[in-house]
Chain A
Amino acid sequence: MGYSWNWGIFLQPTATGDGTYLDWMFYGFKVTIALSLSAWLIALALGAVVGILRTVPNKWLSGFATAYVEVFRNIPLLVQLFLWYFVMPELLPEDLGNAFKQSNPVVQQFLSSMVCLALFTSARVAEQVRSGINSLPPGQKNAGLAMGFTLPQTYRYVLLPMAVRLIVPPLTSEFLNIFKNSAVCSTIGLLELAAQGRQLVDYTAQPYESFIAVTVAYLLINVVVMFGMRWVEGHVRVPGYIGGK
């Protein structure tokens, strides 16, 4: 086939004159990382709360948490993203919605993407937290209560310290997923890694080089996260516990 490879394309100045095409890629890379990490922190916090609520005896609280998880797990990520980006500003109180719509478009895209990814992932984190708490022998909770701890104290001093260490391995795959899922945000125009790759195809007419570069960048993120999490897993492993390997 008559394709002329040109890897030098990345060092050429862009058509819009703001640096080289490599700079575009690097910008997209930074957006992907910033988006995924910020969404991950929110997802961890929210997911922990919702996951704990799913295991409490209070019917209202656990019912609410179950509904939360079901809603975020049964609507496609893309639909959720569009709901946050196009629908949410219309449903907010008038002045808040207008303030959002008048802000910088990049800020709008980033905020919607971050909230969307964070809540989507938090439902999955919550499921891991719940199964971590439920995997503990019931005797632990009973023992805590029998010692005179209140329910919150039992969670704080007995159940959670153990559960946190058990759920690190399953959370690794959720952490990997959030980077991959962030590529969906290119659909609302956020210039993250996948979007930059697509833009490069339009500007340079060198589709293979730009797509290979983007794909390799995702592989790189994947490898770095995997090694990082393996290190964390090694440090939090519970000796002699099956769940901790």
Chain B
Amino acid sequence: MHEFDWSSIPNALPFLWDGMKISLEITVAAVIFGIVWGTLLALMRLSSIKPLSWFAAGYVNLFRAIPLVMVLLWFFLIVPHLLESLFGFPRGSDMRLSSAIAGFALFEAAYYSEIIRAGIQSVPKGQMAAASALGMTYGQAMRLVVLPQAFRNMVPLLLTQGIILFQDTSLVYVSALADFFGAAYKVGDRDGRLVELLLFAGAVYFVICFTASRIVRYYQNKLKTA
């Protein structure tokens, strides 16, 4: 049986916290960009202009069919080279963090857009009709009437997707970027205490995600009764 020795964790806490900051940074940035781009995709998908709606459908289906690991590998191994040759960035500049954020945002936007599309469609048709009758343009009606109601209903789903995204940020491991999980792995590998550090990382993720999903559920119930 394994002899546990947790002594390497207290000293490593500042390093692990730095990693956690990277995980959170990627999560927050990808959630914001993902929702903005996802909203645009959803509007394109629902648009009556056919080419826009085809583009959005193709984009969403493509990204939902490829594994996230594959998308991240594209962004770590290929996109930086592409940018270097296209825009003449200095060779070998460290773009791992921005690549990670871009990869996650573009990938998650596909999932967000499906949530947002369902949210927009759940707003009764009469709302749009009433806004048009008041003389609003399509854009005004969307922005001032439909989207605010749609987002209010969608908040729990968007947050849940954010929790999933937070879990998925551990996959930046494929680029050796030291997020929380990468940091825990490095410390464990260095001290020969991989078992303890991996268990610790699992416990930390569990506490964060479990608490967050409870809060979302509480909010969801409040929304339902309101």
> Which residues of A are interface residues toward B (Cβ below 8 A)?
1-3, 70-71, 73-80, 82-83, 86-87, 90-91, 93-94, 176, 179-184, 186-187, 194, 197-198, 201, 207-208, 211, 214-215, 218-219, 222-223
Contacts and interface: CB of A to CB of B under 8 A. Distances in A.
A186 B170 contact: no
Contacts of A94: 1
B199 A183 contact: no
Contacts of A186: 69, 174
B57 interface: no
Interface in B96-124: none
Given A1-B86, A93-B1, A79 B73 contact: no
B194 interface: yes
B67 A218 contact: yes
Contacts of B173: 78, 187
Contacts of B210: 70, 74
B1 A76 contact: no
A183 B71 CA distance: 11
Interface of B: 1-2, 62, 65-70, 73-74, 77-78, 81-82, 85-86, 167-168, 170-171, 173-174, 181, 185, 194-195, 198-199, 201-202, 205-206, 209-210, 213
Contact of B70 (A70, A74, A78, A218): A218
A3 B195 CA distance: 44
B209 A75 contact: yes
27 contacts: A1-B85, A1-B86, A3-B85, A74-B167, A74-B213, A75-B167, A75-B202, A76-B168, A76-B170, A76-B171, A78-B170, A78-B171, A79-B201, A79-B205, A86-B195, A87-B199, A179-B67, A180-B65, A180-B66, A183-B68, A187-B69, A194-B67, A194-B70, A215-B66, A218-B65, A218-B66, A223-B65
